[in-house]
Amino acid sequence: MNNQFRGEEEEEEELLEEPVIRLKKPKKEKETESANLFFKKLFVDGVVSKEAATAMLPFLIFLSLLTMLYIANSHMAVKNIRDIDKLNKEVKELSWEYKSLKADLMFKSKLTEVAKKVDTLGIKELTEPPKKNYHK
């Protein structure tokens, strides 16, 4: 078995001896290059092998499924909250309408208001109380 760390140190010493001239790269290229380098080291250089990545695939699918369920649940909760708010507004409006109609009915069922309405039909208000006739 070979000592990999020892070999890397020797390579680094060789690289340090040579003068290196670097040009500044645009930021976007630098970011994509560093991302590519990260993934290259991650998958190719042995941090995660192809076999290990394949073995982790069911777990990753499970995590993505849980994530989709979480997102769907939050969308459904927001929709339910909007529906509840809409129904609350409708209940308030119907309550106001009920109260105004009830007040209008109470006003129209007063004796004086009823008398005004039936006066056009020729019916007059009684001035003396009704009498009950007893026939034997």
User: Quick one: pLDDT at residue 129?
Assistant: 85
Domain with 84, as residue range(s), is 48-120
52 falls within a domain: yes
The pLDDT score that the predictor gives to residue 133 is 84
pLDDT on residue 37: 78
Q: Extract the runs of DSSP E, i.e. beta strands, from the chain.
A: none
Q: Is residue 132 part of a domain?
A: no
How far apart CA 33 and CA 134 sit, in angstroms, is 113
Give the integer Cα–Cα distance in Å for 4 and 96: 82
Q: Please, what are the averages of pLDDT over each run of 10 residues along the chain (136 residues)?
A: 55 55 58 74 67 86 97 98 98 97 94 85 82 79
For residue 6, tell me if it sits in a domain. no
Answer whether residue 80 is part of any domain: yes
Q: Report yes or no on whether pTM surpasses 0.85.
A: no
User: Based on the structure, what is the number of domains in the chain?
Assistant: 1
57 domain-assigned: yes
Within a domain: 7: no
Rounded distance between C-alpha atoms, residue 40 and residue 122, angstroms: 101
